[in-house]
Structure 1
Amino acid sequence: MSQMKKVTGDDRRNFLLETLKNSKEPITGGDLATLTSVSRQVIVGDITLLKARNEPIIATSQGYLYMHMPSPALLERIVACMHPPDRTEEELILIVDQGATVKDVRIEHPVYGDLIASIMVSNRREVKKFMEKILVTNAGYLSELTEGVHLHTIAASSESILNDAEEALRKAGFLIG
């Protein structure tokens, strides 16, 4: 990634949007700040404004990602799970090893209602990066707020992959019910 000269407002946001659209990988706020010669806080504000314009940008543990329209063949399923924090990596690996993507985690909070956080991991390398980010930031898991109970949206190109992921979770004792 090459650095561009500092630009203002709309030009910078258009550049950010095109950069994210053209990237197959998430890009960190720090990298976007370097590219545009502004602070990471300016990038956070720019991303917020782009989201307000209904641009499908999500913040993942690996950085910002532009969500292109999913392929019509992509299927999704929500699975209900429960486990202690020390089994999170195992759970995610079980899912991605079946060929599915873990899109998010959600819990039902007694005060805030449904809380949803993007995960977006599709392979072991991405799971490892996610787990490292949790460790480095000392962040807690959403499921810790609900004694381990949580939902995941998982996505795959076929019903059989979703079934395999669900069965792997069942066999390992992660599924509720």
Structure 2
Amino acid sequence: MPNDKKISGDERRKRIADALKEETEPLKGGALAEKHGVSRQVIVQDISLLKAANHPIIATPQGYLYNRPQTDTEKETSIIACRHTKAEMAEELNILVDHGVLVKNVSVEHAAYGELSGQLMIKSRKDVERFQQLMDEQKASLLADLTDGVHLHMVEADDEQAIEEAKQALKTKGFLVEQ
């Protein structure tokens, strides 16, 4: 429900930043727009202005997240090189999340642009399902289509063993690219 009284853009952006800082789950742009009585495009612009003001906000397929610094309980991270078709994307992501691995992003090395990446923040089969649905609805191409299917994932898990087991499962399926 939109707020009844009009607030300034600066105040709206402050409230958006505060809301993102409080949440541990992504907030959808549409929900932020409805809450503040503005269009989704205004929220997109607000997020851009907040990022320009050094707020560490990331846009994921699930919504916006405030990128918090790691706590004392550091997670293990790794970069995994994979290759598969678009039809195999969900299978690859499900292998990772089934091993307790968070898929933070996907990136490719483009000849002209250098590194291109997209924030994913996929941690469950439900996230994979939503991402697959979004890709289908938007008829979107994979970043990996630019590099003949080869792409990198920054992943995170509670321990190195989870990542190694996920890599082994990807290798078994033929998705892992090895040196």
Q: Deviations over 1:13-58 (max 9, x none)?
A: 0100111111222111111111111111111111011111211111
Q: Which residue of 2 aligns with 1:25?
A: 25
Query: How far is 1:74 from its partner?
Result: 1.0
Query: How far is 1:62 from its partner?
Result: 1.2
Query: How far is 1:70 from its partner?
Result: 2.2
Query: How far is 1:137 from its partner?
Result: 1.2
Q: Which residue of 2 aligns with 1:159?
A: 160
Q: Which residue of 2 aligns with 1:76?
A: 77
Q: Which residue of 1 aligns with 2:177?
A: 176
Structure 2: 5+ residue stretches without partners: none
Q: Which residue of 2 aligns with 1:41?
A: 41
Q: Which amino acid aligns with 1:47?
A: I
* 1:70-109 → structure 2 map (5 Å cutoff): 70-72=70-72, 73-109=74-110
Q: In structure 1, how many angstroms separate the alpha carbons of the residues matched to 2:71 and 2:107?
A: 23
Q: Which residue of 2 aligns with 1:67?
A: 67
Paired positions, count:
176
Instruction: State TM-score, norm by structure 2.
Output: 0.94
Q: Secondary structure at the match of 1:96?
A: helix
Q: Secondary structure at the match of 1:129?
A: helix
Q: Which amino acid aligns with 1:175?
A: L
Q: Does 1:7 align with 2:7?
A: yes
Q: In structure 1, how many angstroms separate the alpha carbons of the residues matched to 2:91 and 2:9?
A: 43
Q: Secondary structure at the match of 2:38?
A: coil
Q: Which amino acid aligns with 1:156?
A: A
Where has structure 1 moved over 6 Å in runs of 4 or more?
none
Q: In structure 1, how many angstroms separate the alpha carbons of the residues matched to 2:71 and 2:154?
A: 16
Structure 1: 5+ residue stretches without partners: none
